[in-house]
């Protein structure tokens, strides 16, 4: 099962830009977690120097990888961290399968298929996420505490080691308290009823040590911030409606059914699956004999994690991996017990038992094949949105510059997150927002918490560059003052889907930008305009014109948009700038004629005449010029232009006003 999980992850990482790149729609968390490790090895401490809403376990684990960034670059170091995350996910598949070995090979195969082939594993392992790390330590702890027969170990060393693993899992993500509560309950029931307190003490001591050793230094430096960010914010955070997922939809991701392409009503199906599993558990645990401590731990952990993940106001797809692991083990236990009961009751001969086991294993292999294909389809759809914009961004951002951002992943891919300059150490702007105002997370339109506004105002004044996923990113508190400052002091220099890079105008030297910078912005403006997004298109054209004032197309396209939204004076100015660069730009001449026809007809006539010297077959210019001339009393010349317009485009005959004779 470990090899199956590894093979699937190798295929997924072989997809274009999946290993060295970022997802266009969902690349935020990995930048936070690996960015925190980069900050840590650079001497900037979480909680004291920047907001981190999770314990420090993962940044500590990734610190050796982050330390390689000075030699191999941040992008390659991030790729190594992604591979390490995948190794952890493979470890989860191996450990989960190994834990249920006391229930036989059918149980192992069932759990292994569920863990190795589930779309949940891809969600947890395709980039740096917390889930695989804290789950693997929970399973290591369980493996130490329970023997091969599912009974509690009598070894103090193993008990303490298991406690250490569970404690460190909690130092990675606080959610580990759910399986910790389950294992404590099992220990209390099985040992205290026999009057044995020693194993419980060793277990609790190990948990305390495993959690305290990595956490204590950070807590000692800033206890107030530490407690506020890890506990108060998490307990009081709101949603603003974002990622507010129903219980049934959460079930679809806990079971992995939400990742099955083409499955309709996944939430309903998942609810039915969980109900069937619950019924099977009741029958299995109530009727079958030989229940051991590990049976109860797996059941308690599954119940605790499923119930616990129904509580948070926000729920993201990857969250389902955590309860999904324990559900997979519970499924394995139940199937294993039923398989054993059936073989003992009805197939007593050894030959029949072997035949049934072989049939069960063959069936599970077919299920594994189908599940693997489903996961491949899910991964193919997801990885199609990976891009590698790091090289392009690196060519625009001077090394060592201060960059303020709303997403760290792109800067890591560009090898531009760390800097020697005094610069805000932020890695998680969403977490920073929650720390200041947990009741109103983004997207939120205000009024904004003054502390949050001050943080952003200070940052944008210090920065050389501003990187946003959209010009009006919902992670920025856009007060009127903030909006005015950004647009008056920064110039857009690069744009791509989900990528907007602004440089401080006082630092801008067009000669230091790539030669095609303005052309790229014009291209992005065309794309936005074709998509009907005139606001973004106007931003792109304005930026191109500022970077390259003699780029005639940027001025012209900007004029077209301004004319379309009724800003005639501004549009006229852009058309004139176009003609200053290229006096024979026919479309600008024609549009000026249209723009001035009612207010300054004489000027409009001159622009139409200039246009016709450039484009003598412009039927619309002949028509408009002819009508203006007839209106001024120059009927002969006007009618000649009208006849030419109709000859070039006969449909124009129907557009002539009543009373005009040719």
210-256 pLDDT per residue, tens: 999 999 999 999 999 999 999 998 888 877 666 678 899 999 999 98
* Co-location of 401 and 359 in the same domain: no
Q: What is the mean pLDDT of the chain?
A: 90
pLDDT 10s digits, 548-599:
989 999 999 999 999 999 999 999 999 999 999 999 999 999 999 999 988 9
Tokens 């001449």 correspond to: 589
Distance from C-alpha of 402 to C-alpha of 501, rounded to nearest angstrom: 13
pLDDT value for 137: 97
Give the per-residue SS3 of 80-106: HHHHHHHHHHHHHHHHHHHHHHHHCHH
* pLDDT for position 365: 85
Helix axes 74-99, 321-346, angle to 10 degrees: 30
Total domains present in the chain: 3
Same domain, 378 and 401: no
Q: Is a pLDDT exceeding 60 seen at residue 628?
A: yes
Q: Is the per-residue pLDDT at 345 higher than 70?
A: no
Same domain (yes/no): 60, 145: yes
pLDDT band at 30 (very low <50, low <70, confident <90, very high): very high
The answer to the question of residue 535 being in a domain is: no
pLDDT range class, residue 24, cuts 50, 70, 90? confident
Spatial separation of the C-alpha atoms in residues 619 and 607, rounded to whole Å: 15
Residues 438 and 347 in one domain: no
Query: Both ends of the chain: CA-CA distance in Å?
Result: 86
Is the same domain home to 433 and 462?
A: yes
**pLDDT, tens only, 280-307:** 999 888 776 778 999 999 999 999 999 9
Do 404 and 365 sit in the same domain of this protein? no
Pair (463, 374) in one structural domain: no
What pLDDT, on a 0 to 100 scale, did the predictor assign at position 344?
61
User: What range does the domain containing 600 cover?
Assistant: 596-662
- Which tens digit of pLDDT belongs to each residue from 69-127? 999 999 999 999 999 999 999 999 999 999 999 998 889 999 999 999 999 999 999 99
Query: Is there a single domain that holds both residue 397 and residue 331?
Result: no
Predicted pLDDT of residue 242: 63
Which residues on neighbouring strands pair with residue 492, listed in sequence order? 502
Structure tokens at 55: 């314990």
Q: What is the pLDDT of residues 116-161, one digit of tens each?
A: 999 999 999 999 999 999 999 999 999 999 988 899 998 999 999 9
Contact in structure between 140 and 93 (CB atoms under 8 Å): no
d(CA 474, CA 485) in angstroms, rounded, equals 17
Which of the listed residues 514, 533, 553 is the one where a domain comes to its end?
Answer: 514
Contact indicator for 46, 218 with CB cutoff of 8 Å? yes
Q: What is the mean pLDDT of residues 644-654?
A: 87
Q: CA 529 to CA 534: how far, in whole Å?
A: 5
> What dihedral do alpha carbons 535, 536, 538, 540 form, nearest 10°?
170
Q: Are 166 and 178 in contact (CB under 8 A)?
A: no
For 550-560, what is each residue's pLDDT tens digit? 999 999 999 99
The answer to whether residue 580 sits within a structural domain is no
> What percentage of the chain carries pLDDT values higher than 70?
97
Query: Mind listing the pLDDT tens digit for each residue in 455-487?
Result: 999 999 999 999 998 888 999 999 999 999 998
DSSP assigned state of 231: I
Binned at pLDDT 50, 70 and 90, residue 346 comes out as low
Rounded average pLDDT over 309-313: 88
Residue 652, pLDDT > 70, answer yes
Residue 653's pLDDT band, with cuts at 50, 70 and 90, is: confident
- Look at 66-70, 254-258, 338-342 and tell me which has the smallest mean pLDDT: 338-342
Q: How far apart are CA 154 and CA 144, in angstroms?
A: 11
pLDDT value at position 496? 84
User: Residue 347: is its pLDDT beyond 60?
Assistant: no
Q: What is the pLDDT of residue 350?
A: 59
Provide mean pLDDT across the span 373-378.
88
User: Are 362 and 412 within one domain?
Assistant: no
CA gyration radius for the chain?
A: 33
Residue 151 lies in a domain: yes
Q: Calculate the CA 227 to chain-centre distance.
A: 26
* Domain finish residue from 514, 535, 559: 514
Question: Can you give the pLDDT at residue 638?
Answer: 84
Q: What is the mean pLDDT of residues 168-181?
A: 96
Nearest Cα residue to 472 out of 533, 413, 522, 384: 533
Cβ neighbours, 10 Å, residue 16: 11
Tell me if 550 is assigned to some domain.
Answer: no
Indicate the pLDDT class of residue 264, thresholds 50, 70 and 90: confident
Give the residue from 577, 560, 628, 558 showing the smallest Cα distance to 599.
628
- Indicate if 322 and 403 belong to the same structural domain: no
Statement to judge: residues 330 and 444 lie in one domain? no
CA distances from 144 to 140, 156, 191 (A): 6, 10, 17
Q: Give whole-number Cα distances, 355 to 111, 349, 352, in Å.
A: 21, 10, 5
Q: Is residue 586 part of a domain?
A: no
**How confident is the model over 520-542, as pLDDT tens digits?**
999 989 988 888 888 889 989 99
Please check whether residues 428 and 346 belong to one and the same domain. Answer: no
Task: Look at residue 147 in the predicted model and tell me its pLDDT.
Answer: 81
**58 falls in which pLDDT band (50, 70, 90)?**
very high
- Tell me, what's the pLDDT at 42? 92
pLDDT for the residue 99: 96
Is residue 418 situated within a structural domain? yes
| Structure tokens that stand for 194 in this block | 């026999």
Give me the count of residues in the chain: 662
Q: What is the pTM of this model?
A: 0.88
Domain boundary among 363, 383, 403: 383
Q: Is residue 64 part of a domain?
A: yes
| Helix runs in 531-618, H state only | 534-547, 552-564, 568-581, 586-596, 601-614
Least confident of 170-174, 196-200, 466-470: 196-200
Specify the CATH number for the domain of residue 657: 1.25.40.10
- Domain annotation covers residue 519: no
């Amino acid at each position: 099962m470990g090899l199956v999980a590894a093979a699937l992850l190798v295929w997924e990482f072989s997809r274009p830009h999946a290993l060295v790149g970022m997802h266009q729609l969902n690349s935020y968390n990995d930048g936070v977690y690996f960015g925190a490790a980069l900050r840590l090895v650079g001497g900037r401490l979480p909680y004291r120097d920047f907001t981190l809403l999770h314990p420090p376990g993962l940044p500590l684990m990734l610190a050796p990888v982050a330390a390689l960034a000075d030699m191999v670059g941040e992008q390659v170091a991030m790729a190594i961290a992604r591979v390490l995350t995948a190794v952890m996910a493979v470890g989860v598949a191996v450990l989960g399968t190994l834990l249920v070995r006391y229930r036989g090979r059918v149980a192992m195969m069932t759990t292994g298929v569920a863990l190795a082939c589930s779309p949940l594993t891809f969600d947890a392992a395709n980039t740096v996420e917390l889930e695989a790390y804290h789950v693997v330590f929970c399973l290591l702890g369980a493996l130490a505490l329970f023997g091969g027969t599912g009974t509690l170990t009598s070894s103090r060393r193993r008990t303490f080691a298991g406690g250490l693993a569970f404690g460190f899992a909690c130092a990675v993500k606080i959610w580990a308290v759910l399986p910790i509560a389950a294992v404590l309950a099992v220990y209390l029931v099985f040992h205290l009823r026999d009057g044995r307190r020693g194993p419980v003490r060793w277990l609790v001591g190990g948990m305390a040590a495993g959690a305290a050793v990595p956490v204590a230094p950070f807590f000692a430096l800033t206890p107030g911030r530490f407690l506020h960010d890890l506990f108060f914010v998490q307990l009081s955070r709101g949603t603003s409606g974002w990622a507010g997922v129903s219980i049934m939809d959460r079930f679809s991701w806990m079971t992995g059914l939400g990742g099955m392409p083409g499955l309709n009503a996944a939430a309903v199906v998942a609810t039915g699956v969980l109900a069937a599993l619950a019924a099977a558990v009741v029958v299995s645990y109530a009727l079958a004999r030989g229940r051991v401590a590990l049976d109860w731990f797996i059941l308690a952990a599954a119940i605790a994690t499923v119930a616990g993940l129904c509580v948070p106001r926000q729920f993201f797809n990857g969250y389902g991996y955590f309860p999904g692991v324990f559900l997979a083990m519970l499924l394995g236990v139940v199937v294993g017990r039923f398989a054993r009961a059936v073989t003992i009751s009805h197939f007593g001969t050894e030959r029949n038992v072997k035949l049934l086991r072989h049939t069960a294993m063959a069936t599970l292999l077919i299920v594994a094949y189908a599940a693997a294909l489903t996961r491949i389809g899910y991964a193919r759809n997801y990885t199609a949105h990976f891009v590698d914009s790091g090289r392009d961004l690196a060519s625009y951002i001077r090394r060592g510059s201060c960059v303020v951002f709303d997403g760290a992943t792109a800067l890591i891919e560009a090898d531009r997150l760390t800097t020697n300059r005094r610069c805000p150490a932020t890695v998680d702007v969403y977490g920073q927002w929650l720390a200041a105002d947990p009741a109103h997370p983004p997207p939120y339109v205000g009024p904004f918490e003054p502390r949050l506004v001050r943080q952003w105002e200070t940052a944008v004044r210090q920065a050389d560059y501003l990187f946003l996923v959209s010009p009006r990113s919902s992670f920025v508190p856009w007060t009127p003052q903030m909006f005015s400052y950004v647009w008056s002091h920064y110039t857009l220099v690069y744009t791509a889907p989900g990528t907007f890079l602004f440089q401080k105008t006082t630092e801008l030297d067009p000669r230091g930008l790539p030669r095609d910078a303005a052309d790229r912005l014009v291209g992005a403006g065309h794309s936005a305009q074709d998509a009907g997004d005139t606001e973004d298109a106007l931003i792109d054209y304005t930026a191109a014109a500022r970077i390259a004032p003699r780029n005639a197309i940027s001025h012209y396209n900007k004029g077209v948009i301004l004319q379309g939204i009724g800003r005639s004076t501004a549009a006229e100015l852009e058309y004139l700038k176009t003609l200053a660069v290229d006096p024979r730009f026919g479309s600008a001449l024609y549009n000026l004629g249209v723009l001035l026809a009612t207010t300054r007809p004489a000027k409009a006539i001159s622009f139409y005449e200039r246009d016709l010297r450039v484009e003598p077959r412009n039927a619309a210019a002949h028509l408009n010029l002819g009508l203006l001339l007839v209106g001024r009393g120059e009927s002969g010349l006007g009618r000649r232009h009208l006849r030419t317009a109709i000859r070039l485009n006969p449909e124009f005959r129907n557009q002539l006003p009543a009373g005009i004779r040719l």
